[in-house]
Structure 1
Amino acid sequence: PKRPRLHESRGRRRTRRLAVQSILWLYTAIAFGPLLLVLVGSFRTNSDILRQPVGLPTSLNLDNYVQAWGTASLSTYFLNSLIVTVASVFLCVMVSAMAAYALSRWQFRGRALLAAFFISGLMIPAKLGLLPVFYMYQSMGLIDSRLGLVLLYAATGIPFSVFVIMGFTRAFPTDLEEAARLDGANEGRMFVSVALPIMRPALAVATIFQFALTWNDFFYPLVLLRSDDKYTVPVGLTRFFGEFAADRATLFAGLVIALVPLAIIFALATRHIIAGLTAGMSR
Protein backbone atom coordinates (compact mmCIF):
# COMPACT_ATOMS: atom_id res chain seq x y z
CA PRO A 1 0.00 0.00 0.00
CA LYS A 2 2.95 2.33 0.43
CA ARG A 3 4.09 2.14 -3.18
CA PRO A 4 0.96 3.70 -4.74
CA ARG A 5 1.22 6.57 -2.26
CA LEU A 6 4.88 7.02 -3.18
CA HIS A 7 4.06 7.04 -6.90
CA GLU A 8 1.13 9.34 -6.21
CA SER A 9 3.31 11.81 -4.30
CA ARG A 10 5.94 11.73 -7.04
CA GLY A 11 3.24 12.32 -9.61
CA ARG A 12 1.89 15.27 -7.68
CA ARG A 13 5.37 16.76 -7.32
CA ARG A 14 5.99 16.30 -11.04
CA THR A 15 2.67 17.93 -11.88
CA ARG A 16 3.34 20.80 -9.50
CA ARG A 17 6.82 21.30 -10.92
CA LEU A 18 5.44 21.29 -14.46
CA ALA A 19 2.79 23.85 -13.51
CA VAL A 20 5.39 26.15 -11.92
CA GLN A 21 7.68 25.85 -14.93
CA SER A 22 4.79 26.61 -17.28
CA ILE A 23 3.91 29.73 -15.30
CA LEU A 24 7.55 30.88 -15.34
CA TRP A 25 7.86 30.31 -19.09
CA LEU A 26 4.60 32.20 -19.65
CA TYR A 27 5.88 35.08 -17.54
CA THR A 28 9.17 35.05 -19.48
CA ALA A 29 7.30 35.20 -22.79
CA ILE A 30 5.15 38.10 -21.57
CA ALA A 31 8.17 39.98 -20.19
CA PHE A 32 10.55 39.43 -23.10
CA GLY A 33 7.99 39.45 -25.91
CA PRO A 34 7.90 43.25 -26.31
CA LEU A 35 11.70 43.42 -26.06
CA LEU A 36 12.01 40.86 -28.83
CA LEU A 37 9.59 42.85 -31.01
CA VAL A 38 11.66 46.00 -30.43
CA LEU A 39 14.89 44.18 -31.28
CA VAL A 40 13.46 42.69 -34.47
CA GLY A 41 11.83 46.00 -35.45
CA SER A 42 15.15 47.83 -35.10
CA PHE A 43 16.46 45.90 -38.12
CA ARG A 44 13.43 46.60 -40.30
CA THR A 45 12.64 49.64 -42.39
CA ASN A 46 10.03 52.13 -41.29
CA SER A 47 7.85 51.41 -44.32
CA ASP A 48 7.83 47.69 -43.47
CA ILE A 49 6.80 48.41 -39.88
CA LEU A 50 3.98 50.72 -40.98
CA ARG A 51 2.76 48.17 -43.49
CA GLN A 52 3.12 45.16 -41.18
CA PRO A 53 3.76 46.04 -37.49
CA VAL A 54 4.76 42.49 -36.54
CA GLY A 55 7.12 40.66 -38.85
CA LEU A 56 10.68 39.62 -39.57
CA PRO A 57 13.21 41.88 -41.31
CA THR A 58 13.83 41.16 -44.97
CA SER A 59 17.50 42.12 -44.54
CA LEU A 60 19.91 43.10 -41.77
CA ASN A 61 19.39 46.87 -41.85
CA LEU A 62 21.83 48.81 -39.65
CA ASP A 63 20.89 52.25 -40.96
CA ASN A 64 18.48 52.72 -38.07
CA TYR A 65 21.31 52.36 -35.55
CA VAL A 66 23.53 54.75 -37.50
CA GLN A 67 20.78 57.36 -37.58
CA ALA A 68 19.86 56.92 -33.92
CA TRP A 69 23.49 57.05 -32.77
CA GLY A 70 24.65 59.96 -34.89
CA THR A 71 21.83 62.04 -36.31
CA ALA A 72 19.60 61.85 -33.22
CA SER A 73 22.48 62.67 -30.81
CA LEU A 74 21.87 59.48 -28.86
CA SER A 75 25.63 59.04 -28.61
CA THR A 76 25.84 62.19 -26.45
CA TYR A 77 23.09 61.00 -24.12
CA PHE A 78 24.64 57.55 -23.96
CA LEU A 79 28.07 58.93 -23.03
CA ASN A 80 26.56 61.17 -20.34
CA SER A 81 24.68 58.25 -18.83
CA LEU A 82 27.77 56.06 -18.92
CA ILE A 83 29.92 58.67 -17.17
CA VAL A 84 27.33 59.45 -14.49
CA THR A 85 26.37 55.82 -13.88
CA VAL A 86 29.87 54.33 -13.72
CA ALA A 87 31.22 57.12 -11.51
CA SER A 88 28.27 57.10 -9.10
CA VAL A 89 28.16 53.29 -8.85
CA PHE A 90 31.90 53.07 -8.17
CA LEU A 91 31.74 55.79 -5.51
CA CYS A 92 28.61 54.33 -3.90
CA VAL A 93 29.84 50.74 -3.78
CA MET A 94 33.30 51.60 -2.49
CA VAL A 95 32.00 53.85 0.29
CA SER A 96 29.33 51.28 1.17
CA ALA A 97 31.86 48.44 1.25
CA MET A 98 34.11 50.31 3.66
CA ALA A 99 31.18 51.35 5.86
CA ALA A 100 29.67 47.86 5.87
CA TYR A 101 33.01 46.25 6.72
CA ALA A 102 33.60 48.61 9.63
CA LEU A 103 30.05 48.29 10.98
CA SER A 104 29.99 44.50 10.77
CA ARG A 105 33.57 43.63 11.85
CA TRP A 106 34.70 46.37 14.22
CA GLN A 107 33.54 46.85 17.80
CA PHE A 108 33.17 50.49 18.87
CA ARG A 109 30.77 52.65 20.82
CA GLY A 110 27.75 53.78 18.80
CA ARG A 111 28.15 51.08 16.16
CA ALA A 112 24.53 49.92 16.37
CA LEU A 113 23.24 53.50 16.21
CA LEU A 114 25.40 54.27 13.20
CA ALA A 115 24.24 51.10 11.43
CA ALA A 116 20.62 52.05 12.15
CA PHE A 117 21.32 55.50 10.71
CA PHE A 118 22.51 53.97 7.44
CA ILE A 119 19.64 51.50 7.22
CA SER A 120 17.05 54.19 8.01
CA GLY A 121 17.79 55.67 4.61
CA LEU A 122 15.85 52.74 3.12
CA MET A 123 12.66 53.91 4.82
CA ILE A 124 12.77 57.50 3.58
CA PRO A 125 12.16 58.11 -0.16
CA ALA A 126 15.11 60.12 -1.41
CA LYS A 127 12.91 62.18 -3.74
CA LEU A 128 11.15 63.74 -0.74
CA GLY A 129 14.34 65.67 -0.03
CA LEU A 130 14.70 67.04 -3.54
CA LEU A 131 13.82 70.64 -2.61
CA PRO A 132 16.60 71.03 -0.01
CA VAL A 133 19.01 69.28 -2.37
CA PHE A 134 18.02 71.65 -5.17
CA TYR A 135 18.66 74.75 -3.06
CA MET A 136 21.94 73.30 -1.75
CA TYR A 137 23.08 72.48 -5.30
CA GLN A 138 22.07 75.95 -6.44
CA SER A 139 24.23 77.57 -3.76
CA MET A 140 27.14 75.23 -4.61
CA GLY A 141 26.88 75.72 -8.37
CA LEU A 142 26.05 72.06 -9.03
CA ILE A 143 22.84 72.66 -10.99
CA ASP A 144 23.29 71.49 -14.60
CA SER A 145 26.35 69.51 -13.57
CA ARG A 146 27.16 65.85 -14.10
CA LEU A 147 29.19 65.94 -10.88
CA GLY A 148 26.05 66.88 -8.96
CA LEU A 149 24.23 63.85 -10.37
CA VAL A 150 27.13 61.56 -9.50
CA LEU A 151 27.19 62.73 -5.87
CA LEU A 152 23.41 62.52 -5.53
CA TYR A 153 23.14 59.02 -7.00
CA ALA A 154 26.03 57.78 -4.88
CA ALA A 155 24.51 59.21 -1.69
CA THR A 156 21.01 57.84 -2.33
CA GLY A 157 22.37 54.38 -3.16
CA ILE A 158 24.49 53.98 -0.02
CA PRO A 159 21.73 52.79 2.39
CA PHE A 160 20.71 49.84 0.21
CA SER A 161 24.31 48.94 -0.64
CA VAL A 162 25.36 49.03 3.03
CA PHE A 163 22.37 46.84 3.92
CA VAL A 164 23.29 44.23 1.29
CA ILE A 165 27.02 44.17 2.02
CA MET A 166 26.57 44.14 5.81
CA GLY A 167 24.40 41.04 5.60
CA PHE A 168 27.19 39.32 3.70
CA THR A 169 30.20 40.49 5.71
CA ARG A 170 28.67 39.46 9.05
CA ALA A 171 29.14 35.83 7.98
CA PHE A 172 32.88 36.24 7.35
CA PRO A 173 35.07 33.64 9.09
CA THR A 174 37.38 35.26 11.62
CA ASP A 175 40.25 32.91 10.77
CA LEU A 176 41.30 34.92 7.73
CA GLU A 177 41.43 38.17 9.66
CA GLU A 178 43.39 36.61 12.50
CA ALA A 179 45.89 35.12 10.03
CA ALA A 180 46.28 38.51 8.33
CA ARG A 181 46.91 40.22 11.67
CA LEU A 182 49.55 37.64 12.56
CA ASP A 183 51.26 38.46 9.25
CA GLY A 184 51.37 42.12 10.27
CA ALA A 185 48.54 43.42 8.07
CA ASN A 186 46.78 46.58 9.23
CA GLU A 187 43.04 47.23 8.86
CA GLY A 188 43.40 48.84 5.45
CA ARG A 189 45.45 45.95 4.14
CA MET A 190 42.95 43.42 5.48
CA PHE A 191 40.09 45.26 3.81
CA VAL A 192 41.80 45.35 0.42
CA SER A 193 43.44 41.91 0.42
CA VAL A 194 41.03 39.83 2.53
CA ALA A 195 37.59 41.45 2.67
CA LEU A 196 37.12 42.77 -0.86
CA PRO A 197 37.78 39.43 -2.62
CA ILE A 198 35.28 37.67 -0.35
CA MET A 199 32.76 40.51 -0.81
CA ARG A 200 32.53 40.03 -4.58
CA PRO A 201 29.03 38.47 -4.63
CA ALA A 202 27.62 41.21 -2.39
CA LEU A 203 29.44 43.90 -4.36
CA ALA A 204 27.97 42.47 -7.57
CA VAL A 205 24.43 42.66 -6.16
CA ALA A 206 24.91 46.26 -5.01
CA THR A 207 26.52 47.21 -8.32
CA ILE A 208 23.75 45.70 -10.43
CA PHE A 209 20.91 47.30 -8.51
CA GLN A 210 22.60 50.68 -8.33
CA PHE A 211 23.57 50.56 -12.01
CA ALA A 212 20.03 49.73 -13.12
CA LEU A 213 18.43 52.40 -10.93
CA THR A 214 20.90 55.08 -12.01
CA TRP A 215 20.85 54.23 -15.72
CA ASN A 216 17.05 54.22 -15.87
CA ASP A 217 16.43 57.25 -13.66
CA PHE A 218 14.46 60.01 -15.33
CA PHE A 219 13.56 62.25 -12.40
CA TYR A 220 16.84 63.71 -11.18
CA PRO A 221 18.34 64.55 -14.60
CA LEU A 222 15.07 66.20 -15.63
CA VAL A 223 15.07 68.44 -12.54
CA LEU A 224 18.78 69.16 -12.11
CA LEU A 225 20.04 69.40 -15.70
CA ARG A 226 19.44 72.29 -18.07
CA SER A 227 21.71 71.71 -21.09
CA ASP A 228 20.77 69.32 -23.86
CA ASP A 229 24.37 68.15 -24.21
CA LYS A 230 24.35 66.96 -20.55
CA TYR A 231 21.10 64.99 -20.61
CA THR A 232 21.23 61.29 -19.83
CA VAL A 233 19.55 58.57 -21.88
CA PRO A 234 16.10 58.56 -20.18
CA VAL A 235 15.66 62.33 -20.59
CA GLY A 236 17.27 62.30 -24.02
CA LEU A 237 14.86 59.60 -25.18
CA THR A 238 11.90 61.90 -24.55
CA ARG A 239 13.34 64.41 -26.99
CA PHE A 240 14.29 61.51 -29.24
CA PHE A 241 10.67 60.29 -29.28
CA GLY A 242 9.39 63.73 -30.14
CA GLU A 243 11.85 64.13 -33.02
CA PHE A 244 11.40 60.65 -34.50
CA ALA A 245 7.77 59.95 -33.61
CA ALA A 246 6.98 58.94 -37.19
CA ASP A 247 10.16 56.88 -37.67
CA ARG A 248 9.46 53.81 -35.59
CA ALA A 249 12.42 51.84 -36.86
CA THR A 250 14.83 54.49 -35.56
CA LEU A 251 12.92 54.60 -32.27
CA PHE A 252 13.34 50.85 -31.88
CA ALA A 253 17.07 51.15 -32.59
CA GLY A 254 17.40 53.87 -29.97
CA LEU A 255 15.62 51.74 -27.37
CA VAL A 256 17.91 48.79 -28.11
CA ILE A 257 20.99 50.99 -27.70
CA ALA A 258 19.65 52.23 -24.36
CA LEU A 259 19.12 48.65 -23.13
CA VAL A 260 22.50 47.25 -24.20
CA PRO A 261 24.50 48.25 -21.06
CA LEU A 262 21.90 46.75 -18.73
CA ALA A 263 21.81 43.51 -20.71
CA ILE A 264 25.61 43.24 -20.69
CA ILE A 265 26.06 43.87 -16.97
CA PHE A 266 23.24 41.48 -16.04
CA ALA A 267 24.71 38.77 -18.27
CA LEU A 268 28.20 39.18 -16.83
CA ALA A 269 27.19 39.32 -13.17
CA THR A 270 24.31 36.82 -12.97
CA ARG A 271 26.39 34.18 -11.18
CA HIS A 272 27.62 36.68 -8.59
CA ILE A 273 24.09 38.05 -8.09
CA ILE A 274 22.71 34.59 -7.28
CA ALA A 275 25.63 33.87 -4.95
CA GLY A 276 25.18 37.19 -3.17
CA LEU A 277 21.41 36.83 -2.73
CA THR A 278 21.65 33.25 -1.44
CA ALA A 279 24.74 33.68 0.72
CA GLY A 280 22.80 34.69 3.80
CA MET A 281 20.40 31.77 3.51
CA SER A 282 23.11 29.18 2.93
CA ARG A 283 25.23 30.14 5.94
Structure 2
Amino acid sequence: MNGLCQDRVVIVTGAGRGIGRAHALAFAAEGARVVVNDVGVALDGSATADGPAAQVVAEIEALGGKAVASTDDVADFAGARNLVRTAAEHFGGLDVLVNNAGFVRDRMLVNLGEDEWDAVIRVHLKGHFAPLRHAAEYWRGEAKAGRTPAARVINTSSGAGLLGSVGQVNYSAAKAGIAGLTVVAAAELGRYGVTVNAIAPSARTRMTEDVFAEMMARPDDGFDAMAPENISPLVVWLGSTESAAVTGRVFEVEGGKVSLAQAWRHGPETDKGSRWAPAELGPVVTDLLERAPEPEPVYGAS
Protein backbone atom coordinates (compact mmCIF):
# COMPACT_ATOMS: atom_id res chain seq x y z
CA MET A 1 0.00 0.00 0.00
CA ASN A 2 1.32 3.42 -0.94
CA GLY A 3 2.11 5.92 1.79
CA LEU A 4 0.78 9.45 2.13
CA CYS A 5 3.94 10.87 0.52
CA GLN A 6 4.77 7.99 -1.81
CA ASP A 7 7.71 8.87 -4.09
CA ARG A 8 7.69 12.53 -3.08
CA VAL A 9 11.17 14.03 -2.75
CA VAL A 10 11.68 15.71 0.61
CA ILE A 11 14.51 17.78 2.03
CA VAL A 12 14.69 17.97 5.82
CA THR A 13 17.33 20.31 7.25
CA GLY A 14 18.79 19.68 10.68
CA ALA A 15 17.67 16.08 10.24
CA GLY A 16 20.50 14.34 12.08
CA ARG A 17 18.93 14.49 15.52
CA GLY A 18 15.78 15.31 17.46
CA ILE A 19 12.75 16.66 15.65
CA GLY A 20 14.47 16.74 12.26
CA ARG A 21 15.48 13.09 12.51
CA ALA A 22 11.89 12.21 13.47
CA HIS A 23 10.63 14.11 10.40
CA ALA A 24 13.03 12.29 8.08
CA LEU A 25 12.04 8.88 9.40
CA ALA A 26 8.33 9.71 9.30
CA PHE A 27 8.48 10.89 5.68
CA ALA A 28 10.42 7.78 4.70
CA ALA A 29 7.80 5.62 6.44
CA GLU A 30 5.17 7.24 4.20
CA GLY A 31 7.10 6.41 1.03
CA ALA A 32 9.05 9.63 0.50
CA ARG A 33 12.61 9.81 -0.77
CA VAL A 34 14.50 11.94 1.73
CA VAL A 35 17.50 14.25 1.57
CA VAL A 36 18.78 14.16 5.15
CA ASN A 37 20.62 17.43 5.71
CA ASP A 38 22.72 18.07 8.79
CA VAL A 39 26.05 19.83 8.98
CA GLY A 40 26.79 18.01 12.24
CA VAL A 41 27.37 20.66 14.91
CA ALA A 42 27.09 20.84 18.67
CA LEU A 43 24.16 22.51 20.41
CA ASP A 44 25.87 25.92 20.29
CA GLY A 45 26.78 25.57 16.61
CA SER A 46 30.41 24.59 17.09
CA ALA A 47 31.95 21.94 14.85
CA THR A 48 31.93 18.26 15.79
CA ALA A 49 33.42 15.13 14.26
CA ASP A 50 29.99 13.51 14.30
CA GLY A 51 28.18 12.54 11.10
CA PRO A 52 24.51 12.33 12.07
CA ALA A 53 23.10 12.76 8.55
CA ALA A 54 24.73 9.55 7.34
CA GLN A 55 23.48 7.72 10.43
CA VAL A 56 19.87 8.70 9.71
CA VAL A 57 20.25 7.68 6.06
CA ALA A 58 21.44 4.28 7.26
CA GLU A 59 18.37 3.99 9.52
CA ILE A 60 16.04 4.80 6.64
CA GLU A 61 17.73 2.37 4.27
CA ALA A 62 17.66 -0.37 6.91
CA LEU A 63 13.88 0.03 6.96
CA GLY A 64 13.68 -0.26 3.18
CA GLY A 65 13.47 3.46 2.43
CA LYS A 66 15.44 5.73 0.12
CA ALA A 67 17.59 8.58 1.39
CA VAL A 68 20.78 10.51 0.72
CA ALA A 69 22.89 12.53 3.15
CA SER A 70 23.77 16.21 2.77
CA THR A 71 26.20 18.14 4.97
CA ASP A 72 25.66 21.48 3.23
CA ASP A 73 25.49 24.57 5.43
CA VAL A 74 21.93 25.82 4.89
CA ALA A 75 22.83 29.34 6.00
CA ASP A 76 25.44 29.56 3.23
CA PHE A 77 23.82 30.72 -0.01
CA ALA A 78 25.88 28.40 -2.20
CA GLY A 79 25.42 25.53 0.24
CA ALA A 80 21.66 25.96 0.15
CA ARG A 81 21.74 25.97 -3.65
CA ASN A 82 23.73 22.75 -3.60
CA LEU A 83 21.22 21.18 -1.22
CA VAL A 84 18.38 21.79 -3.67
CA ARG A 85 20.54 20.50 -6.52
CA THR A 86 21.25 17.33 -4.54
CA ALA A 87 17.53 16.56 -4.39
CA ALA A 88 17.00 17.26 -8.08
CA GLU A 89 20.07 15.35 -9.25
CA HIS A 90 19.79 12.36 -6.91
CA PHE A 91 16.02 11.85 -6.95
CA GLY A 92 14.95 13.73 -10.07
CA GLY A 93 13.08 16.62 -8.48
CA LEU A 94 11.92 18.28 -5.28
CA ASP A 95 8.45 18.28 -3.76
CA VAL A 96 8.86 19.25 -0.10
CA LEU A 97 11.26 21.44 1.86
CA VAL A 98 11.21 21.14 5.64
CA ASN A 99 13.31 23.89 7.21
CA ASN A 100 14.25 22.70 10.69
CA ALA A 101 17.96 23.37 11.32
CA GLY A 102 18.97 25.55 14.26
CA PHE A 103 20.78 25.90 17.55
CA VAL A 104 20.66 28.16 20.61
CA ARG A 105 23.00 30.55 22.39
CA ASP A 106 20.83 31.74 25.25
CA ARG A 107 21.61 34.88 27.22
CA MET A 108 19.70 37.66 28.92
CA LEU A 109 19.64 40.72 26.68
CA VAL A 110 22.17 42.71 28.69
CA ASN A 111 24.67 39.83 28.48
CA LEU A 112 24.13 38.85 24.84
CA GLY A 113 27.18 39.23 22.63
CA GLU A 114 27.10 40.39 19.03
CA ASP A 115 28.51 37.06 17.85
CA GLU A 116 25.78 35.18 19.74
CA TRP A 117 23.11 37.34 18.10
CA ASP A 118 24.62 36.96 14.63
CA ALA A 119 25.11 33.19 14.87
CA VAL A 120 21.52 32.42 15.89
CA ILE A 121 19.98 34.82 13.37
CA ARG A 122 22.21 33.36 10.66
CA VAL A 123 21.39 29.70 11.20
CA HIS A 124 17.68 30.03 11.99
CA LEU A 125 16.56 32.92 9.82
CA LYS A 126 19.03 32.90 6.93
CA GLY A 127 19.07 29.10 7.21
CA HIS A 128 15.36 29.17 6.38
CA PHE A 129 15.59 31.87 3.72
CA ALA A 130 18.45 30.41 1.66
CA PRO A 131 17.02 26.91 1.02
CA LEU A 132 13.57 28.41 0.46
CA ARG A 133 14.99 30.91 -2.03
CA HIS A 134 16.64 28.20 -4.14
CA ALA A 135 13.71 25.79 -3.85
CA ALA A 136 11.36 28.59 -4.95
CA GLU A 137 13.56 29.29 -7.97
CA TYR A 138 13.46 25.62 -8.89
CA TRP A 139 9.67 25.43 -8.55
CA ARG A 140 9.14 28.65 -10.49
CA GLY A 141 11.19 27.15 -13.32
CA GLU A 142 9.07 24.01 -13.24
CA ALA A 143 5.86 26.04 -13.34
CA LYS A 144 7.07 28.17 -16.25
CA ALA A 145 7.98 24.98 -18.13
CA GLY A 146 4.38 23.80 -17.78
CA ARG A 147 5.11 21.36 -14.96
CA THR A 148 3.34 23.16 -12.11
CA PRO A 149 4.40 21.38 -8.93
CA ALA A 150 2.40 20.34 -5.89
CA ALA A 151 5.19 21.70 -3.72
CA ARG A 152 5.20 22.19 0.02
CA VAL A 153 7.35 24.16 2.45
CA ILE A 154 7.15 23.60 6.20
CA ASN A 155 9.15 26.08 8.28
CA THR A 156 9.96 25.78 11.96
CA SER A 157 9.07 28.72 14.16
CA SER A 158 8.58 28.46 17.93
CA GLY A 159 6.40 29.60 20.78
CA ALA A 160 9.38 31.84 21.56
CA GLY A 161 8.89 33.49 18.18
CA LEU A 162 5.13 33.85 18.59
CA LEU A 163 5.10 35.08 22.21
CA GLY A 164 8.72 35.73 23.18
CA SER A 165 10.89 33.92 25.71
CA VAL A 166 12.96 35.50 28.47
CA GLY A 167 16.65 34.76 28.02
CA GLN A 168 16.22 33.94 24.33
CA VAL A 169 15.97 37.30 22.63
CA ASN A 170 18.10 36.22 19.64
CA TYR A 171 16.21 32.95 19.21
CA SER A 172 12.82 34.67 19.69
CA ALA A 173 13.66 37.32 17.09
CA ALA A 174 14.80 34.68 14.59
CA LYS A 175 11.72 32.54 15.10
CA ALA A 176 9.42 35.57 14.80
CA GLY A 177 11.19 36.37 11.54
CA ILE A 178 10.50 32.84 10.32
CA ALA A 179 6.78 33.30 10.98
CA GLY A 180 6.89 36.52 8.92
CA LEU A 181 8.89 34.82 6.18
CA THR A 182 6.27 32.07 6.05
CA VAL A 183 3.26 34.29 5.43
CA VAL A 184 5.02 36.40 2.79
CA ALA A 185 6.39 33.35 0.96
CA ALA A 186 2.93 31.79 0.99
CA ALA A 187 1.48 34.89 -0.64
CA GLU A 188 4.21 35.08 -3.28
CA LEU A 189 4.63 31.41 -4.22
CA GLY A 190 1.04 30.22 -4.51
CA ARG A 191 1.02 31.08 -8.22
CA TYR A 192 3.73 28.45 -8.74
CA GLY A 193 1.89 25.62 -7.00
CA VAL A 194 3.71 26.04 -3.69
CA THR A 195 2.18 26.17 -0.21
CA VAL A 196 4.18 27.49 2.74
CA ASN A 197 3.27 26.82 6.36
CA ALA A 198 5.09 26.75 9.68
CA ILE A 199 5.00 24.83 12.92
CA ALA A 200 5.84 25.95 16.46
CA PRO A 201 6.74 22.65 18.14
CA SER A 202 7.24 21.72 21.78
CA ALA A 203 9.26 18.54 22.24
CA ARG A 204 12.32 17.11 23.90
CA THR A 205 15.42 18.15 21.93
CA ARG A 206 18.96 19.23 22.67
CA MET A 207 17.74 22.83 22.51
CA THR A 208 14.90 22.43 25.01
CA GLU A 209 16.18 19.98 27.60
CA ASP A 210 17.65 22.75 29.79
CA VAL A 211 14.88 25.31 29.21
CA PHE A 212 12.04 22.90 30.02
CA ALA A 213 13.84 20.49 32.35
CA GLU A 214 10.80 20.00 34.59
CA MET A 215 8.72 18.83 31.60
CA MET A 216 11.23 16.26 30.40
CA ALA A 217 10.28 13.40 32.71
CA ARG A 218 8.65 10.54 30.87
CA PRO A 219 5.11 9.74 32.14
CA ASP A 220 3.93 6.42 33.48
CA ASP A 221 0.92 6.14 31.15
CA GLY A 222 2.98 5.07 28.13
CA PHE A 223 2.50 8.29 26.13
CA ASP A 224 5.62 10.44 26.04
CA ALA A 225 4.10 13.85 25.35
CA MET A 226 7.53 15.42 24.82
CA ALA A 227 8.80 12.89 22.26
CA PRO A 228 9.97 14.55 19.03
CA GLU A 229 8.08 11.92 17.04
CA ASN A 230 4.80 13.57 18.11
CA ILE A 231 5.59 16.59 15.94
CA SER A 232 6.19 14.78 12.66
CA PRO A 233 2.69 13.52 11.68
CA LEU A 234 1.44 17.06 11.04
CA VAL A 235 4.60 17.92 9.11
CA VAL A 236 4.18 14.83 6.93
CA TRP A 237 0.53 15.72 6.27
CA LEU A 238 1.48 19.29 5.40
CA GLY A 239 4.06 17.85 3.02
CA SER A 240 1.48 15.69 1.24
CA THR A 241 -0.74 16.59 -1.70
CA GLU A 242 -3.74 16.49 0.66
CA SER A 243 -2.73 19.85 2.18
CA ALA A 244 -3.12 21.87 -1.04
CA ALA A 245 -5.73 24.23 0.48
CA VAL A 246 -3.63 25.13 3.53
CA THR A 247 -1.04 27.88 3.23
CA GLY A 248 0.31 30.83 5.20
CA ARG A 249 -0.56 29.21 8.54
CA VAL A 250 1.36 28.55 11.74
CA PHE A 251 0.48 25.50 13.82
CA GLU A 252 1.50 24.85 17.41
CA VAL A 253 2.18 21.17 18.10
CA GLU A 254 2.85 19.47 21.44
CA GLY A 255 2.20 15.86 22.39
CA GLY A 256 -1.22 14.99 21.00
CA LYS A 257 -2.29 18.62 20.71
CA VAL A 258 -2.46 20.59 17.46
CA SER A 259 -3.60 24.21 17.48
CA LEU A 260 -3.71 27.04 14.98
CA ALA A 261 -1.74 30.08 16.09
CA GLN A 262 -3.38 33.45 15.56
CA ALA A 263 -1.16 36.05 13.94
CA TRP A 264 -1.04 39.76 14.64
CA ARG A 265 -4.42 41.22 13.75
CA HIS A 266 -5.79 44.75 13.40
CA GLY A 267 -7.36 45.67 16.73
CA PRO A 268 -9.41 48.56 18.18
CA GLU A 269 -8.87 51.93 16.54
CA THR A 270 -9.68 55.60 16.97
CA ASP A 271 -9.54 57.95 13.99
CA LYS A 272 -9.53 61.69 14.63
CA GLY A 273 -9.54 62.48 10.92
CA SER A 274 -6.59 64.83 11.34
CA ARG A 275 -3.15 64.90 12.97
CA TRP A 276 -3.01 64.22 16.70
CA ALA A 277 -1.23 66.46 19.15
CA PRO A 278 1.08 64.44 21.47
CA ALA A 279 -0.78 65.60 24.58
CA GLU A 280 -4.08 64.23 23.23
CA LEU A 281 -2.87 60.65 22.88
CA GLY A 282 -2.74 59.51 26.50
CA PRO A 283 -6.52 59.00 26.81
CA VAL A 284 -6.66 57.56 23.28
CA VAL A 285 -4.09 54.87 24.07
CA THR A 286 -5.81 54.10 27.39
CA ASP A 287 -9.10 53.60 25.58
CA LEU A 288 -7.51 51.33 22.96
CA LEU A 289 -5.92 49.18 25.66
CA GLU A 290 -9.22 48.89 27.50
CA ARG A 291 -10.95 47.69 24.35
CA ALA A 292 -8.26 45.15 23.40
CA PRO A 293 -7.66 41.69 24.90
CA GLU A 294 -4.62 41.27 27.10
CA PRO A 295 -1.62 39.89 25.18
CA GLU A 296 -0.40 36.39 25.90
CA PRO A 297 2.43 36.48 28.47
CA VAL A 298 6.04 36.11 27.39
CA TYR A 299 7.45 32.69 28.30
CA GLY A 300 9.47 32.97 31.49
CA ALA A 301 8.15 36.40 32.44
CA SER A 302 7.32 36.81 36.14
Q: Please give the range of the TM-score, normalised by the shorter of the 2 chains.
A: under 0.3
Q: In terms of Rg, which structure is larger?
A: 1
Structure number having the greater helix percentage: 1
TM-score of the two chains, using structure 2 as the length reference: 0.25
TM-score of the two chains, using structure 1 as the length reference: 0.26
Higher relative contact order (CA 8 A, sep 6+): 1
